[in-house]
Amino acid sequence: MSEPLQQLKERLADIENMRAATAILEWDQQTQMPPGAAESRARQLGTLSKLAHEMFVSDETGALLEKSAQALNGADYDSFDASLIRVTRKDYERERKLPPSFVSEMTQLTALAHEVWAKARAEDNFAAFAPTLKKIVDMKRREAELRGYTDHIYDALIDTYEPGMKTADVAQMFNGLSKELVPFVAAIRERVDQVSDKPVHQDFDEDIQRRFAEMVVSQFGYDFQRGRQDRAVHPFCTSFSCTDVRITTRYERDWLNPALFGTLHEAGHGMYEQGSALELDLHGLRGGTSLGVHESQSRLWENVVGRSRGFWTHFYPKLQAEFPAQLENISLDDFYRAVNKVEPSLIRVEADEVTYNLHIMVRFEIETDLLAGSLTVDQLPEVWNAKYHQYLGITPPNNRLGVLQDIHWSGGLMGYFPTYSIGNLLSVQLYEKAVSAHPTIPEEITQGKFETLRGWMTENVYRHGRKYDPTELIQRATGEKLTPRPYLNYLKRKYGEIYGV
Ligand code: ZN
């Protein structure tokens, strides 16, 4: 091995270790830390992330990258070393584009913005948030100019979450979806009372909820020898290595869905992280290639598997045995329908599989117009409400249930929302590819067996970590580009049957 490459690897391993330590502190902050430690924790996180960032963007890293690239010239594209140089170079160029003064200005603005947004939302006062949001939009425009783009200013922002994805690709995706989804949702809205979700709204002991969900994800293949689950107010998955991948959940005693489907969701993220090839562990190549591909795995295990009839054919008798008083008189069919209730609603995070992408489409259209300058912050409430009326057939009665609901904009996260829809579409596209390779998968799910499905995902997605960018990975795994067709067919088949539309 060439000497610069060895030095580069040692340097990247040091950086990866500092990032992992940062992530452990963040996990602790959200699961264990006493509230009084907030300030000291902010200082510790600040120091560690500064050191890791400075070391990564330094000229030394750049010089080692160039020398290593020359030494490796002609190496096999798929090899570990060639992938390491290719991916690290892109990360390096991306991180060097924003000057430190810009980053710290943004950090300060968003730290303050969070408080302003939380207060404005609590008081349902959009005007109180508008001046801060204007500053954020201005900074995001500056950021896009610093990052650079060729077609649409919003490309520069999407690229930070979904490398290689363009505004035009996302617009095309939503066009394909909305043409069929909007009338489909309207038809279901006429028949919402066909399905009752009473079965999942009863008194469910939290400890039994935990035990049941952990049993399910163990059977999926989430490895508790290399993971654990804790409580958090806002559930998430984090990892410090492929051998230490942690998930979190929250419980509601009178509602089964948040903990049950939340655990399935986070375990999907977790299996992706645990499934990276071990050789990728040390130098920043492990984990998911993008937020969208990551979300495809959480949605796959939560919805495509966990909300399917086959899954409940196996697991419902076990759930009934855990909660006999609540469930013994409820049929499998009624329970299956209850966990798949569709209802056009105002709040994105509570949305079902069918309506979810329409919530995202509203945000995508608004963000692109804001960035392009064809929409002003002051027009937002009116435009938001009009789009909800147009796509979901409902109008928010106030801004708290409308334009003020999401935390993202106050944190400077613009270009992020489309990754949720990319994940939904891709979950079905990948699942169907796995089933066409192994037609026994649906039958195995009804027997509580998941090795074949997880094996296909590991082989085609998980083990590659960050080696390939999302468009490359999707093409390699499915033989085509991201497409809404499989997802639309899946929704129409499943919910057409449930609602008789
Ligand atoms: Zn997720």
pLDDT digit string (tens) for 450-492? Answer: 999 999 999 999 999 999 999 999 999 999 999 999 999 999 9
**164 alpha carbon – ligand 1 mean position (Å):** 21
**195 alpha carbon – ligand 1 mean position (Å):** 26
248 and 266 Cβ atoms separated by less than 8 Å: yes
Rounded average pLDDT over 258-270: 97
Does residue 43 carry a pLDDT above 90?
A: no
**201 alpha carbon – ligand 1 mean position (Å):** 23
Residue 337 shares a structural domain with residue 265: yes
Residue 101 shares a structural domain with residue 191: no
Tens-digit pLDDT profile for residues 398-438: 999 999 999 999 999 999 999 999 999 999 999 999 999 99
Residue 247 carries which DSSP code? E
Confidence of residue 42 (pLDDT cuts 50, 70, 90): confident
Count of structural domains, the chain: 2
**485 alpha carbon – ligand 1 mean position (Å):** 22
Residue 384 shares a structural domain with residue 286: yes
Out of 72, 105, 124, a domain closes at 124
**63 alpha carbon – ligand 1 mean position (Å):** 36
Confidence of residue 107 (pLDDT cuts 50, 70, 90): confident
Residue 275 shares a structural domain with residue 346: yes
Write down the pLDDT at residue 103.
Answer: 87
Residue 356 shares a structural domain with residue 413: yes
> Is there a domain that residue 194 lies in?
yes
**266 alpha carbon – ligand 1 mean position (Å):** 6
Does residue 379 carry a pLDDT above 90?
A: yes
Write down the pLDDT at residue 1.
Answer: 62
**423 alpha carbon – ligand 1 mean position (Å):** 9
Residue 62 shares a structural domain with residue 171: no
Out of 124, 159, 176, a domain closes at 124
Write down the pLDDT at residue 395.
Answer: 96
The per-residue DSSP string of 35-62 comes to GGGHHHHHHHHHHHHHHHHHHHHSHHHH
Write down the pLDDT at residue 108.
Answer: 86
Q: How would you classify residue 176: left for phi > 0, otherwise alpha for psi between -120 and 50, otherwise beta?
A: alpha
Nearest one of 501, 495, 477, 496 to 427, comparing CA atoms: 477
Residue 73 shares a structural domain with residue 183: no
Write down the pLDDT at residue 415.
Answer: 96
Out of 124, 154, 182, a domain closes at 124
Tens-digit pLDDT profile for residues 1-28: 679 999 999 999 999 999 999 999 999 9
**270 alpha carbon – ligand 1 mean position (Å):** 10
Confidence of residue 65 (pLDDT cuts 50, 70, 90): very high
Active site residue 443: no
Range of the structural domain that residue 313 is part of: 167-499
Which candidate in 266, 295, 353, 432 is catalytic?
Answer: 266
Give me the amino acid identity at 441. Answer: I
Tens-digit pLDDT profile for residues 189-242: 999 999 999 999 999 999 999 999 999 999 999 999 999 999 998 899 999 999
CA 258 centroid distance within chain: 16
> Is there a domain that residue 162 lies in?
no
Q: Which residues contact 386 (CB under 8 A, 6 or more apart)?
A: none
**269 alpha carbon – ligand 1 mean position (Å):** 7
Secondary structure, 3-state, 17-36: HHHHHHHHHHHHHHHCCCHH
* Domain at 181, CATH number: 1.10.1370.30
**74 alpha carbon – ligand 1 mean position (Å):** 38
> Is there a domain that residue 144 lies in?
no
> Is there a domain that residue 133 lies in?
no
Residues with Cβ within 5 Å of ion ligand 1? 298
What is the total residue count of the chain?
501
Q: Which residues contact 492 (CB under 8 A, 6 or more apart)?
A: 180, 184
**426 alpha carbon – ligand 1 mean position (Å):** 13
> Is there a domain that residue 131 lies in?
no
> Is there a domain that residue 458 lies in?
yes
Percentage, residues of the chain above pLDDT 70: 100
226 and 239 Cβ atoms separated by less than 8 Å: no
Confidence of residue 35 (pLDDT cuts 50, 70, 90): confident
Average pLDDT of the chain, as a whole number: 96
Q: Tell me the C-alpha distance between 159 and 60, whole Å.
A: 26
Tokens describing residue 424:
């939904």
Q: Give the residue carrying structure tokens 């960018």.
A: 469
Q: Which residues contact 476 (CB under 8 A, 6 or more apart)?
A: 460, 468
Residue 105 shares a structural domain with residue 203: no
**10 alpha carbon – ligand 1 mean position (Å):** 32
Tens-digit pLDDT profile for residues 142-166: 999 999 999 999 999 999 999 989 9
Residue 189 shares a structural domain with residue 109: no
94 and 85 Cβ atoms separated by less than 8 Å: no
Q: Which residues contact 383 (CB under 8 A, 6 or more apart)?
A: 366, 369, 375
Q: How would you classify residue 239: left for phi > 0, otherwise alpha for psi between -120 and 50, otherwise beta?
A: beta
Q: Which residues contact 465 (CB under 8 A, 6 or more apart)?
A: 276, 277, 280, 285, 286, 287, 288, 289
Q: Which residues contact 499 (CB under 8 A, 6 or more apart)?
A: 187, 188, 191, 194, 195, 342
Q: Tell me the C-alpha distance between 444 and 433, whole Å.
A: 16
- Cβ burial, residue 370 (10 Å; 0-12/13-18/19+): buried
Q: Tell me the C-alpha distance between 329 and 47, whole Å.
A: 57
CA 29, 34, 35, 36 dihedral sign is negative
> Is there a domain that residue 147 lies in?
no
Q: Are strands 237-241 and 244-249 parallel, antiparallel or unpaired?
A: antiparallel
> Is there a domain that residue 380 lies in?
yes
Residue 180 shares a structural domain with residue 318: yes
Residue 402 shares a structural domain with residue 309: yes
Q: Tell me the C-alpha distance between 445 and 311, whole Å.
A: 6
Residue 188 shares a structural domain with residue 88: no
Q: Tell me the C-alpha distance between 121 and 101, whole Å.
A: 30
